[in-house]
Structure 1
Amino acid sequence: MSIEEMMRVQALDWMKVKTTMHHAALTSKECTGRTLGEDREPLWVEDSGSSSKASPTSKKNSVDSEPNTFSSYDTKSNNAKNVTREKEEEAKGCVLQQLKALSMTDSEPSISCFPDAQAINASIVKRELEEEGKRCVRQQLKALKDKQDALRLSRESQQKEDERQREQLQQKALRERNDILLIQKADQMTTAQLEAQQREQLALRQQTDQKLHKLALEGVSRCQRRFNQKYEGIARILLSLDKETVQVCSTQNTQLKELGQKFEHLVSTVKMGKCEMQSQYLCSIIKAEECCKSLDTLELEIIKQLAEFSEQIQQQLKMEAAKKLEEERQKQLDEEKQRREKEETEAKEKQQQLAEAAKAEAAKAEAAKVPIPSEPKSQDVPPDATATTSSCVHPDRLKFYNEILSLYQTKVDAVKPLQTEESLKQYRTGCQRAINLPLNAISAVSPQHLSQNFDKLYSFFAGQPVKVMNGASITINDHPLARDYCMLLMAKKFVSQTETAISSNPQAAFPFASVIVTFWKLLPDFGKVFLAYMYKESPFLVPYVIPQQPGQTPEQYLKTIGYRLSEKNELEKPDMYLKRQTGIARLYAAVIITQGRKAAGNDQCFELEEGWVWLTHMVNVKPLPDISATMIMEILQTLGFELWRTYGKQFVKLLVYIQNIYMPQLAAYDEGGPKTRLEMLLAKFLRERQIPQAVGILPPGFW
């Protein structure tokens, strides 16, 4: 029960008690005896009773009219107010019952049935009491209503305060949520900015890494070319040695393998870009340079070791040769002694026979008296004088060399109008493109591949049209000088392959040589032009050691024997010169022993005899440092197998001559690596009594 209901119930109880006591006070004045009990008769009669009885009902109705008016104020209240109204109605019912009982007690039956003054006063008092009770009830109801209004107002204010607090809490929560969203947005923006900065830094780092990677690749690639050239040279030295000699350099051989593996690992690391730090890219270049320097040092050690071993071998060979020579000399002395003894014995016998014959003749002469003629004395016949060859070039080879150069110069002079005319520049470019593209693609991948590239070249020389840039096509018959121009151009392009593909890959010489030999058969002038370009690049292929003219500077002389000038007008380094000359010698030897296309015929334009003639003339001209030993070694490695098989013992005698006669002459001018390698190669060939066949040579009928 709420506080309002309790207050209402207490007020009604107080009203009941007050009204009851007031009525009792009024009634006690009129009563003179006992009025209650079963033995007492009622004090009213039927008529008066009915009238008195009716009055309370009318009063009740009048009283009930007030609550009805009051109840209209509460029609809009809730369920709690309805309960309160029911309790008020019950209280009012109790009050009316008490008033009814009071009226019943106040109405005394009269015999005359007329009210007396007391009855009137009692009715007036009763009416006043009723009015007072109504007024008190109205006051209490008004007080209750005021309390209810105050409570409603307090509740409304409390609700408003609660709503205001709730709105404040909501606004505070909204502000907090907005603050959180702002903080999150700021964090996101900060994170995005940080990520953008990190991406920019990462992109910048990647660009820097790419640049450093590119620089490292360029630096390491330059070192790789140097390393590979030096490594191949050392490997060829070691491969040309026998097992006994290789064991002498076993330590250096192991170091060479380790150094090669280390350099390969370095190159693979740089190519894959596995360097975690930027400084490692620069360190990779430094390491590559260190590997090249280590390889140079290793080469010097190997050459020194081989030179010492070669000296030991030479001393052993000299001792064995001296011993053998001594034995042969002793044997010859013994034989000479036996021959002399035999001759003396025969001479004595002959003298005895002559003495006996002389005696017989003397006896006969004396008998006949005829003098004996004396024997005529023998006279010595002077030996025939032999012609001596030049120390620079054999006259026959010089004559051939001049004929080749004369033909070449004639063709060069003839095509000058085509070369110099500006309007034919596009035509010249088309001719170069028609020759360069198939020529650069020549390789021994398959017979079909080699034949396809040859057909492209030969079809152009046969007059068929060839497509060039912009969809246009040209033929070799478009200009009368085009054939000689393209022949010179193709010969020059073949010779240029010696310094690019062949110098680093010896096996590449044979497919080029096969195509050259085929063109030589089909176009004889091409072969002479090709030789002219070869002789211009290396006069040692004649062989012709051009002498230095009086007043000629060393640079000018080096240019005459094949050295080149760079774009900065600097003379090329000796190692690059020797590498280029090595490629030229390989192609020259490959042309000698390689057969052309089988459809072109079996005739060989450049026979094996050319190799024999070159070798025999080379050992009779003046040796030069490095280049002489290099050229002889390359020719022997490529042609040695065929020369030994063809010339047999004569070739072996030539090798012995080179070892015993030519090498001491070369030692007076050359003490470098090529000379040492040639000594080891000759010792190996003579010790094993064989020369291996060159690797990569094309079999007969390959295409």
Structure 2
Amino acid sequence: MDDMMRSMDCLKMAATFHNAALASTTCTGRTLGEDRAPIWVEGSSKTPEPPLPEESPAPEPKNEIPLLPQIDFEPNISCFPDLQDINASIVRRELAEEGKRCVRQQLKAIKDKQDALRMSRETQQRKEERQSDQLQQKALRERNESLLIQKADQMTAAQLEAQQREQSAQRQQIDQKLHKLALEGVSRCQRRFNQKYEGIAKILLSLDQETVKVCAAQNAQLKELGQKFEQLVSSVKMGNCEMQSQFLCSIIKAEECCKSLDALEMDIIKQLAEFSEQIQQQLKMEAAKKLEEERQKQQQQQQEEQRQKLEEQQKLEEQEKLRKEKEESEAKEKQQEAETAKAEAANVHAPLEPKSQDVPPAPTASSTCVHPDRLKFYNDILALYQSKVDAIKPLQTEESLKQYRTGCQRAINLPLNAISAVSPQHLAQNFDKLYSFFAGQPTKVMNGGTITINDHPLARDYCMLLMAKKFVSQTETAICSNPQAAFPFASVIITFWKLLPDFGKVFLAYMYKESPFLVPYVIPQQQGQTPEQYLKTIGYRLTDKNELEKPDIYLKRQTGIARLYAAVIISQGRKAAGPDECFELNEGWLWLAHMVHVKPLPDISATMIMEILQTLGFELWRTYGKQFVKLLLYIQNIYMPQLAAYDEGGPKTRLEMLLAKFLRERQIAQAVGVLPPGFW
């Protein structure tokens, strides 16, 4: 169909009409149509003339209709076709053109269908490809989503592990903090518990066996409570609490133990008060019986005394007569002797002077043992102490005043043993109990009655000596094992010293008797004195087996005495008690300066210097500054080599290390437990 359309397009209509116009001159009839006679037949005599050489016809395609042969004669008007034939041919031609047009339209429609089919196929193919791409993308997306989900799961798992690790670390930190808080809280309760426990134990130890039996149940409760508290402390120290709330419960339990211990103390005091009332009633009954017996005895004695008086009067009269006779004879003899002595004195021109060898030298202490000023102070203190001891002997030895002495002892011992720095109110309460007794206020005793210090004229000095001795005895029990306990005792001592000046001197006397190194006074060994006797003079004691105590026990006791002495120097008393200072810091400076100039002794010299430096070093450095540093350098460079000639033990080594530390760090830490100014 395409070839036919191309051949029809190649027809030259202008040439065809030109040739037809030329042929019409020779045509006589109809030349068109299928039923006409041919113009020229093959084999006729006439041959057609060749065509005019005007234009060469264009080559026609094979499928086109061949042109009519040219006629060799001249055309004439008769040979032209008529109009109908021409119209018919034109119609046919138009029909042919219309057919071709229809064919072309059909071909175009077919082609359009083919194009539409091809387009539909392409669109279908593209749609399928698009669907396949979508499926692939969906599969890829699902695969990516699965990978993302896996990665997200891994990340969430890692985050969960990290969060769990952080939570565990935070939990451990919280447990550690709670453990630390529990340790601090329990340690505070432990200090309170131990002080209260020691006070109750001292009360029980100060009682006799019969009184202790009355408190047997409370004693058992005290032991159980002590064991329970020790178990609580050990569990808190080991950190055996599984839950965080148990740490807080441990503090609450410790507080409950302290409260139960306070209740136990009140119960013991109440029980002892009831028992003392019973004893006092029994004593009253016995005293009444004794009074009746004494009255009967006194009546009998009065009768016998009257008889004896009569006899004695007679004897006295006889003795007076004899005495007068003797006096007269003695007077005569004296007159004779006086006359003879006058005669002998007249013969002598000058009296003979005694030789220096006949007069014994006065006992003096060497300067290497004690400074003269310190020795004078020491002798004055001991003289005052001895005068008071001699004065109270009637009260101390009289048997009828035994009950009164016991009441005085209990009025002093109970509040004094309870002294501690638990709180300002606690310290002030125990001081008020002691001072109210010295102020003459009535104090209850075990039998329910009351006594006052004014009941006997010697009671004030007796109680003053008793209280000073009791304070010094605390160095053997509480202070030597707990250095911080020295400061509340020292604060009370200073307060009494301000209010009762003689008490301070008596207290120093007891301190010097227990340790003459506080003067400082190194008592020399006398000729003929045994080592045991000499050790007694410097503070050694005899045990129950009548043997000297061991050196470590002696050093421990001397350590407690030095701690209390130093604490008294730097402690401040109650504000409203009197002058601000009565035993100032210069006492510590004088002691240290004199101690390094007396003869050193093994162990004890190094021990005393080390304790004084640890307690007073901070205040001495802050007050004296460079002068104190020079004193430390003197001790290190000059005194320590002198001490090394006598001492190579542990105290000397510890003192060397302590001095090196102080001079290296250029500072001394403040003693632990010092009460702040205005504490009570």
Normalized per residue, the structure richer in helix is 1
Q: TM-score, normalised by structure 1?
A: 0.45
